[in-house]
Amino acid sequence: MTRSENGAFIRLGLIGYPLGHSVSPMLHEAALKSAGLSGEYRLYPIQPGPEDSQPLTSLIDDMRAGALAGLNVTIPHKRRILDFVDDLDMIARSVGAVNTLVMREGHLVGENTDVPGFLHDLKGLRWSPEGTAVLLGAGGSARAVAYALVSSGWDVVVAARRKEQADQLAEEIGSVCHAFMKIHGIEFTPQSLKEAAGKNALVVNATPSGMHPKVKECPWPENIPLPAGGAVYDLVYNPAETKLSRLARVSGVPVLTGAGMLVAQAALSFHAWTGYEPPFTIMQKAFRLP
């Protein structure tokens, strides 16, 4: 039985910090409404640090007791929450990060819908991939993207300002995917990006460069053309058109920004909690930038 079938009020929410501009409540409340379910999606801002154990434990206890039906987890707790779960799904274990908490047969399971959410939205590029991706950034979201791409057969070059960060990500994802030859790190310099991208590459921005309020920043070097025949996926979703996505558009390079991934990971979390079909279209329509 899904939680939705017993007519109960469904309490969902998001753990993170800060959460001031989160669009998740509008997405999930639209999904609840369209499914004819009564419920709410609340924000639980929890500052990271020595004091965070008590509020995190309290929310986890509410999930175990059934008072909360599901939680999303975002920055900075996606790895921290690993300490609180009974089990991990295969993707969360591989990526080392959780964005969805769900009770399954009495066990609190940490899952990761960022990976399938990214892959789902990537299909919207309507571009024939050539198999090489240049991934800008080596932080939390880059791990999910690297895992998504390598486990789908792509070759991935990870570019980071601190090369050791790129190398470490490449080694870890190469190891969990049993594909050391499919991923490596480079330094984030114009020359090495130019060499790595070559022709036909997919450029994925997993840095906050270009994100509100730093909308004038572009993670791609100004003097280097985007790969001819390639494509761009910018994880940043605020603003709707980033400096990078504008550059791609005027260069005739297919491009998407991160709103679709945000919606897709949310729809997949909603499915995990309620058993309803992932409501991609309903959540897409509900999406509004703050």
Interface ranges with ligand NAP (CB under 6 A):
75, 114, 137-142, 160-162, 165, 188, 206-209, 211, 219, 235-237, 258, 261-262, 265
Q: Give residue for tokens 């998504």.
A: 148
Give the integer Cα–Cα distance in Å for 259 and 126: 16
Give the integer Cα–Cα distance in Å for 179 and 196: 18
> Between 64 and 184, whose beta carbon lies closer to ligand NAP?
184
Contacts of 41 (CB under 8 A, 6+ apart): 12, 13, 14, 24, 25, 28, 29, 32
> Between 137 and 174, whose beta carbon lies closer to ligand NAP?
137
Secondary element (H or E) of residue 164: helix 163-176
Task: Determine the distance from the C-alpha atom of residue 272 to the mean position of all C-alpha atoms in its chain, rounded to a whole number.
Answer: 16
> Between 3 and 137, whose beta carbon lies closer to ligand NAP?
137
Give the integer Cα–Cα distance in Å for 143 and 162: 15
Query: Whole-number minimum distance, CB 118 to ligand NAP, in Å?
Result: 7
Query: Whole-number minimum distance, CB 117 to ligand NAP, in Å?
Result: 6
Let me know if 123 is a catalytic residue. no
Centre a 10 Å sphere on the Cβ of residue 154 and count the other Cβ atoms it contains: 22
The residue with its CB nearest to ligand NAP is: 139
Query: Whole-number minimum distance, CB 238 to ligand NAP, in Å?
Result: 8
Closest CA to 237 of 211, 204, 199, 201: 211
Residue of 78, 163, 199, 216 with catalytic role: 78
Query: Whole-number minimum distance, CB 9 to ligand NAP, in Å?
Result: 28
> Between 229 and 254, whose beta carbon lies closer to ligand NAP?
254
> Between 8 and 240, whose beta carbon lies closer to ligand NAP?
240
Query: Whole-number minimum distance, CB 46 to ligand NAP, in Å?
Result: 17
Contacts of 118 (CB under 8 A, 6+ apart): 144, 145, 148, 235, 261, 264, 265
List the catalytic residues: 78
